[in-house]
Structure 1
Amino acid sequence: MAGSAAPGPGAVALRVDIDRKVYGAGGREPVEAVRGLAFSVIAGEITCLIGPSGAGKTTTLRILLGLDPDYEGRVTPHPDAAGIAMAFQEPRLLPWRTVEQNVRLALPRGTRGQDLDGLFDSLGLGPWRSRYPGALSLGMARRVSLARALAQKPRILVLDEPFVSLDDTSAAGLRGLVVAAVERSGMGVLMVTHNVAEAIEIADRLLLVSGRPAGLLGTIPLERPRGARDRAWVEGRRAALAAQFPTVIAG
């Protein structure tokens, strides 16, 4: 769903308060997946959610996307944050549709004819618009997935492991495209990743989540400008966080 006026930079675009989420409640073996997880997505910022495998990150994404209403708590969008778009780890492109058709199919019927030249050019997809997904590398397919989300002009973009399994060059290129999109649009981004160094490189804030049941262990702001984060600084921050949160980040 397309957004309207964007909340200003620094405003809370989305507030997530999950008091409790239990699978199989009332059954013989209920599983408490999330307990006391509260955080905000800020307009114009990239927030990375980091936690152990099986910690409830996917459950959290399903709740904030409105796919799982069976929980205790609430998700509160900013009044002007009318749209959330998602780019999945798997691009999920229709193989019988061209790149351009895959992107336009995500739009409401009355808006599918809009001009997308600027979007395709900004993501380096101009020459690929008439190609089919089978001709794309994984990195290019993920660009199409990102284009499909950005075409909806969301106020909040959710990314689930968007750079996993990519080579260093492709991952760096896609990270740069995400940062540029944030700077251009002022949207808020929530990204789930297991790659801590990658998160430190791209994020404005890190949210460190415990093992099941998932709860917030710490919010880590990253004040140094992204352009000044060299490899030594990134590795230094990662090592410091590993020492402070050993159950979340490997040493």
Structure 2
Amino acid sequence: MSAGGDRVSGAGEPILRVAIDRKVYRAGASEPVEAVRGLAFTVERGEIVCLIGPSGAGKSTTLRILLGLDPDYEGRIEPDPRGAETSPGMVFQEPRLLPWRTVEQNVRLAMPRGRRGRDLDGLFDHLGLAPWRGRYPGALSLGMQRRVALARALADDPRLLVLDEPFVSLDDAAAASLRGLVVDTVDRLGMSVLMVTHNVAEAIAVADRLLLLSPRPASLVAEVRLDRPRSARDRAWADATRRDLAERHPGVIAD
């Protein structure tokens, strides 16, 4: 399997370089827990990269480090998230919307104060949120709340969109719709995506590149470039790809 998608990706310098030599949790008198060891990868311009690993492997820890939320580690992130001019857009597992704020207010409050007055009509139209701008999150389905969370992450035009299990708990139709929106948005805006997931089928459907992580402490087991355009990834190809991955990496991919 080698690289390929519906657009050219990977042109120019990587927009993100991650090199986590070691991350250890030391909680009180308990034994130290090594969460990450020797994990290094890049994300290139215009590509979708999926980070896949078993539960407890250190995926969320890795995200916290590259977002600048956990500076207590050995290694280096470039650009440094604590000093970067443009922070990554972040979509968490839960929408994390303020229930007393409208959809539009939730999106604008996440933007830098000086940019909160910018025109967001195009973004709301593209994500199918225009009719809901004045509604409160409680009036929306989970799938629509996830769209609001995506709008919030995209509102400041980030170069990198980071997704942490963004489609979990959605039914198949809602998940497929939101995946399509993410891919279409990335293609239109030319941004990059780093998505953390344990859903291998989901990753195979959208990624240009898979990064497979070992059980804790997390390290890179394999990098897999997918060689078929997303529009041509039918069920038979996806199933065959998953079986091949499971045979080659049984500790990471369940058959």
* TM-score class normalised by the smaller sequence: over 0.9
Q: Residue 34 of structure 1 aligns to a residue in which SS?
A: strand
> Alpha carbons of 1:114 and 1:53: their partners in 2 closer, same or farther (altered >3 Å)?
same
Aligned partner of 1:123 in structure 2 is 127
Code of the aligned partner of 1:168: D
What TM-score results when the alignment is normalised by the length of structure 1?
A: 0.93
1:99-141 deviations in Å (ceiling 9; x for gaps): 0010000111111111000000000001111110001111000
Aligned partner of 2:70 in structure 1 is 68
> Is the Cα–Cα contact under 8 Å of residues 10 and 44 in structure 2 kept in the other structure?
no
Q: Residue 47 of structure 1 aligns to a residue in which SS?
A: strand
Q: Residue 99 of structure 2 aligns to a residue in which SS?
A: coil
Matched, 1:221 2:248: no
Code of the aligned partner of 1:248: V
- Counterparts in 2 of 1:86-235, with a 5 A limit? 86-235=90-239
Separation in 2, partners of 1:94, 1:233: 41
Aligned partner of 1:59 in structure 2 is 61
Gapped regions of structure 2 (runs ≥ 5): 1-8
2:42 pairs with one of 30, 40, 43: 40
Q: Residue 211 of structure 1 aligns to a residue in which SS?
A: coil
> Is the Cα–Cα contact under 8 Å of residues 165 and 195 in structure 2 kept in the other structure?
yes
Query: 1:82 offset after TM fit, Å?
Result: 3.1
Separation in 2, partners of 1:183, 1:51: 26
Q: Residue 22 of structure 1 aligns to a residue in which SS?
A: strand
Query: 1:28 offset after TM fit, Å?
Result: 5.1
Q: Residue 12 of structure 1 aligns to a residue in which SS?
A: coil
Aligned partner of 2:6 in structure 1 is none
Separation in 1, partners of 2:52, 2:209: 11
1:24-71 deviations in Å (ceiling 9; x for gaps): 189651110000000111110000000010000000000000011110
Gapped regions of structure 1 (runs ≥ 5): 1-6
> Alpha carbons of 1:198 and 1:10: their partners in 2 closer, same or farther (altered >3 Å)?
farther
Q: Residue 150 of structure 2 aligns to a residue in which SS?
A: helix
What is the aligned-residue RMSD (CA, Å)? 1.9
1:150-199 deviations in Å (ceiling 9; x for gaps): 00110111000001111111111111111111111111110001110110
> Is the Cα–Cα contact under 8 Å of residues 83 and 153 in structure 1 kept in the other structure?
no
Query: 1:83 offset after TM fit, Å?
Result: 2.7
Aligned length: 245
